[in-house]
Amino acid sequence: MAFLHNRVSNEEMKKRLYAETEARTTISFYQYFPIADPRAFRDELYAALDALKVFGRIYVAQEGINAQISVPASNFEALKAYLYSIEALHGLRLNVAVDDDGKSFWILKIKVRDKIVADGIEDPGFDMANRGKYVNAEEFNQLTDDPDTIVIDMRNHYEFEVGHFQNAIEIPSDTFRDQLPMAADMMQHAKDKNIIMYCTGGIRCEKASAYMLHQGFKKVYHLEGGIIHYANNVKAKGLPNKFKGKNFVFDDRLGERISDEIIAHCHQCGKPADTHVNCVNEGCHLLFIQCEECKTKYEGCCSTACQEVIHLPEAEQEQLRKGVVKDRNVFNKSKSRLRPRLNEIDKGAV
């Protein structure tokens, strides 16, 4: 089968999205299962989802599928029926977004990867079939009332910063592959305790639970469907909500509110804030937290230096952008991983 992909520009697709009148539903799902030919599976999936006007980002690998998508509301049941027609995906849990404006994605991208979650695990004895026990929202609340339970957040530092569960332990690393051995090392003293791992939608903590069992831990659990499924269940069943703040998401929304608490602070003035933005200087694009006042003051930029850049002629801006690598350009105050020009921000701004 020929490699299928979208032939319309991102800009045009985004215009089409905002011109749509029908509401969209944002969904995430994943499944660990063997795929013999990921590229053929990818092309079949693309053809089916494109016909349903699905937008989003999907990764396919020999170990399974990981997806964050949006679908027109009228096509939701058709999408569900198609996914359930695939034997390994029958009965698949679809995590519907908690706080959804329907504008999360504007293009469909399905990529073949070595793994759906980069984990750095090379031990041939590691087996995803031996994973921790699922806990639902009610079980999570009950277990976390026990002082012998340890809750571990398997997300990145910037996700943890804007929202997390009460008393959750952050694994201070920038990548999931580094977090796995770090989590095992940090928990060596707690091999007899209940350990619950969680993440956004369940995919990282499920693999993390299998890794912890592989490392000799005994009572390992992971939160079914992650924060998204937990939040939906808490709301539907009237359960106490133990998650505080906002759930960071990897789409245009950059976050969905789970509780009213604002536990983070503006990276420029220090006031309570939990809105992630990207610096509007295309040569920087730093992901950071900015309050409305600083957004106005700095015109959406992370620094006065970037603010100066956006007022230069476009040709000069393009010249400055040449050779700039923006991958993982994320504010991390604890490690001072700031671009040099951030140090030029007005004194006291950070």
**DSSP state letter for 130:** S
Residue among 213, 24, 170 nearest 104 (CA)? 24
**3-state secondary structure (DSSP) of residue 262:** coil
CB atoms within 10 A of CB 213: 19
Residue among 119, 118, 131, 113 nearest 42 (CA)? 113
Q: Which residues pair with 70 in a beta bridge?
A: 26, 55
**DSSP state letter for 330:** B
Distance CA 282, CA 320 (A): 10
- For the chain, helix (H) and strand (E) counts, in that order, are 11, 15
Report H helices in the chain. 10-19, 38-51, 76-85, 137-144, 157-162, 176-186, 203-214, 226-237, 292-297, 304-309, 314-321
Residue among 107, 115, 99 nearest 30 (CA)? 115
In single-letter form, the type of residue at position 319 comes to Q
In single-letter form, the type of residue at position 156 comes to N
Question: Active-site residue 199, yes or no?
Answer: yes
Distance CA 207, CA 227 (A): 16
**Residue 251: partners with Cβ closer than 8 Å, 6 or more residues away:** 26, 56, 57, 68, 104, 105
252's tokens: 């245009």
309's tokens: 């850049």
The residues assigned a catalytic role are 199
